[in-house]
Structure 1
Amino acid sequence: MLYKKILKVFLYILVSLVMLVLTLVAIIYFSENGRIMLPVKQKEAFQNDNLDDFPPMLYVEGNKILQPSGDVIVLRGLMPPDPVKLHSKNKFNKRFFQKIKDSGANVVRIPVHPENYYFNKDYLWRYLVPAVAWSGELGMYIIIDWHYIGNIENNTGEKMPDIDIDAKEFTLQFWKQVANYFKEVPNVIFEIFNEPANISSGQWAKNAAEIIEAIREQGAEQIIIVGGTDYSKDLSWVKETPIDGENIVYASHIYPIHTNWDYYFGDIAEKYPVLITEWGFMDENRNTTDQYYLIGDKQTYGQPFIDYLDEKGIGWVACWFDNSWEPQIFQKDFKSYTNYGAFVMEALKSNK
């Protein structure tokens, strides 16, 4: 009898252990990148004990971005990969944001890829809340970039996410939630759609106005960034049909292949505030990329471009603060810089 009891207890323990292992395997399998993702507390609005010490809300007057004091601020900063990617590299932490701050950056642009937001229902609380908190505590502004690329009206584009929801519907859903959540947070800036593509300026302006209206209806008064057409390169349409509303900034993405800067964004900056929210080049590592539009160097693109922006008082965000996403600021070791990265770090010294 004793033997049977011992055997029964042993089998019970064995079955329990097997069930525990299977549960852990299932959690890891269905988590991000094989990491166990514990639940996060989902508060109804952003809270931080240091909120009063965050950088103050900026506003637009004429073609300038101003601080509450009335002083002009030129935003210059860096763009890391989506927080999900940073997490997979053990880089999603305040130390990493401190490195961005230490570079001289006064703004960080956080790309939110729609597919990541769609499949991770905790994304806002797991990633955006800490990113906003770390940025604010370190004295930086943060651009929340809704990283769609394509046509918002008909869901077309080579890089549109493979998710079961209409782009416009999801975009409005995202901004209603995010704007409502962060409406009282002064260092937050909203960039409504990363790169409109294969869409007319008229169609894009109409959709942008709807997104802006949805944000403002939440009570959020912070700056809203509207990108140009043709992958955010072209802002020429703003001259004839500017977006109606307050605190609107226009964004352009300019890479080495793009010329005629006056036409695409420079002339617009004479009347409206413009921010370059993506730029960069690949030099010594040019043979490793199939993104031909990134191939360039400091002499023929980097320095002339920065000089042009400085002359016009236009701010910028360089991408990517990473060792693999192109154009990379870091070498593969994530310590030394590429030629491009070294140039960016030098350019940011003026912010210190």
Structure 2
Amino acid sequence: MKLYKLFSIQFAFLFLFSCSKDDTPTKTEPVKEVPVEETIAWPLATPKLKVVGKYLKDPCGNIINMHGVAMTPSPWFNGGAVGEWRWNNYDVAACLSYNKAVMNKLSDAKQGWYLNYVRLHIDPYWTNNLGVSGIQENDISQFNVERFKSAIDNVILPLIAHAKTRGMYIILRPPGVCPEHIAVGDAYHDYLKVIWDYISKHPSLKNSDHVMFELANEPIRIKLPDGTYGANTQAHFDQLKLFFQPIVDMIRTNGANNILWIPGSGWQSQYKGYAVNPIAGENIGYAVHIYPGYWGKDNNSPSLFRANWNENIKPVADIAPIAITEIDWGPEKYAVWGKGGVTGTAGGWGFGANFKVLTDESGNVSWNVLSPENLIDKGSVNGGIAYDNDPQACANPVNKWFKEYAKKMVICN
């Protein structure tokens, strides 16, 4: 009995001692997980694409939509327009240095940019006679074919070659813009034939895997057989076909099967008649421009924007791929062409968000913003996101959207 009591006392003492405050296990704080930065393989390859039905497809059959920027290798469009002249005086080396650096930045995942094509302009700065100033981009009176050929070899080809190393396709456009009035067989028609005959025969451009051709920039009105000029009736589209079909046929006769992007009228905003009388041939798409004020209405309104899209763009988007080779937007205070357009919300007031809805629904739309200044502050290779990263201007949402597109993109190696 005494032994039992002694054992019990000792056991209790040990129990109390073992549960003293100093030995009570403390609560372990969970280890916080450090977020893993998302990685996206970029840049990707640039295999030769082809038009299959209404889609661009790679050799493996993947549907490809490109997302990029327009670039013009001339002093005015390389900083001059924003007061920061980055080169001048036909300095080829400086021109190439700046434009290659922009390509590098805008295809650099580490800097948050995921572009995979450039709409490249052969600017009249390089193709007009030297010493000429004060003429408009639509004036071809000073075009010099030898300077044009030199520009191709010394400026355009090096940029095209560099773009490939950055996983970027090229949509190449001719020097300058269309005059307000064009006509089948007129001087501008002949000018375009000279341009595309040379390009489509050039061994470094003809059938290049990553190079496509946009046949003209912003036709406005075309001449009818009765001598009047206008746009957007079937008769006008029939004339547009007679204007561009011979250029297409010439390119194909030269053995070039590059994808061709055909512009519409009304500054590249009108296309419905092409659905009735399309350009004939393979590897044909349509190059479109869209801004908040196009078609004479405020495309911040989702219902108006959709109605305009359905009338003017959807007819050809239903039969062929679309490349929107000019677009931007931003509140009035910013230096954009699309002034007054805001990003807004999908289904609500706003141009940008509803533009994305329409293109995503279509499923076959490639698109690029108007210039590097639409993406990076003043087009500087050291610049942050343009327009102070304001979500209502185009740079902020485009930065996010292009990354989202890149996450989903699958293309042959």
* TM-score calculated relative to the size of structure 1: 0.74
- Can you list the C-alpha shifts for 1:237-284, whole angstroms capped at 9, x where unaligned? 112110001000012111001331111112321222112111111325
1:137 aligns with 2:191: no
CA distance in 2, matches of 1:249, 1:82: 25
Per the alignment, do residues 332 and 273 of structure 1 end up closer, same or farther by CA in structure 2, a change over 3 Å counting? closer
- Can you list the C-alpha shifts for 1:45-91, whole angstroms capped at 9, x where unaligned? xxxxxxxx972221111101111111110111111234454396246
Equivalences, count: 283
Aligned to 1:340: 394
Aligned to 2:354: 304
Aligned-partner residue type, residue 92 of structure 1? L
SS across alignment from 1:203: helix
1:86 aligns with 2:78: yes
Of residues 122, 128, 131 in structure 1, which corresponds to 2:156?
Answer: 128
Of residues 104, 117, 121 in structure 2, which corresponds to 1:111?
Answer: 121
Aligned to 1:272: 320
Offset of 1:343 from its aligned partner? 2.1
1:95 aligns with 2:140: no
1:283 aligns with 2:346: no
| Bigger Cα displacement from structure 2, 267-276 vs 206-215 | 267-276
Offset of 1:114 from its aligned partner? 4.2
Aligned-partner residue type, residue 342 of structure 1? N
SS across alignment from 1:189: strand
- Can you list the C-alpha shifts for 1:312-337, whole angstroms capped at 9, x where unaligned? 11221111113xxxxx4343473131
| Bigger Cα displacement from structure 2, 109-118 vs 210-219 | 109-118
Aligned to 1:76: 67
**Structure 1 segment 187-206 matched on structure 2, within 5 A:** 187-199=210-222, 200-206=236-242
| Bigger Cα displacement from structure 2, 242-251 vs 95-104 | 95-104
SS across alignment from 2:394: helix
CA-atom RMSD, angstroms?
2.4
Aligned-partner residue type, residue 96 of structure 2? F
CA distance in 2, matches of 1:193, 1:95: 27
**Structure 1 segment 165-204 matched on structure 2, within 5 A:** 166-181=187-202, 182-199=205-222, 200-204=236-240
CA distance in 1, matches of 2:288, 2:103: 24
- Can you list the C-alpha shifts for 1:1-52, whole angstroms capped at 9, x where unaligned? xxxxxxxxxxxxxxxxxxxxxxxxxxxxxxxxxxxxxxxxxxxxxxxxxxxx
Per the alignment, do residues 203 and 113 of structure 1 end up closer, same or farther by CA in structure 2, a change over 3 Å counting? farther
CA distance in 2, matches of 1:274, 1:333: 26
Aligned to 2:371: 320
Report if the CA contact (8 A) 1:224-1:249 is conserved. Answer: yes
Per the alignment, do residues 284 and 295 of structure 1 end up closer, same or farther by CA in structure 2, a change over 3 Å counting? closer
SS across alignment from 1:178: helix
Report if the CA contact (8 A) 1:152-1:167 is conserved. Answer: no
CA distance in 1, matches of 2:57, 2:74: 29
Q: Which has the higher helix share?
A: 1
Per the alignment, do residues 180 and 279 of structure 1 end up closer, same or farther by CA in structure 2, a change over 3 Å counting? same
Per the alignment, do residues 180 and 152 of structure 1 end up closer, same or farther by CA in structure 2, a change over 3 Å counting? farther
CA distance in 2, matches of 1:70, 1:232: 29
SS across alignment from 2:351: helix
Aligned to 1:148: 177
Aligned to 1:242: 278
Report if the CA contact (8 A) 1:201-1:237 is conserved. Answer: yes
CA distance in 1, matches of 2:73, 2:178: 14
Structure with greater Cα Rg: 2
CA distance in 2, matches of 1:82, 1:269: 30
Runs of 5+ consecutive residues of structure 2 not aligned to the other structure: 1-43, 80-84, 88-94, 130-146, 223-235, 295-304, 345-349, 388-392, 407-413
Offset of 1:151 from its aligned partner? 4.8
SS across alignment from 1:144: strand
Aligned-partner residue type, residue 268 of structure 1? V
CA distance in 2, matches of 1:229, 1:57: 29
CA distance in 2, matches of 1:169, 1:212: 13
Runs of 5+ consecutive residues of structure 1 not aligned to the other structure: 1-52, 156-164, 323-327
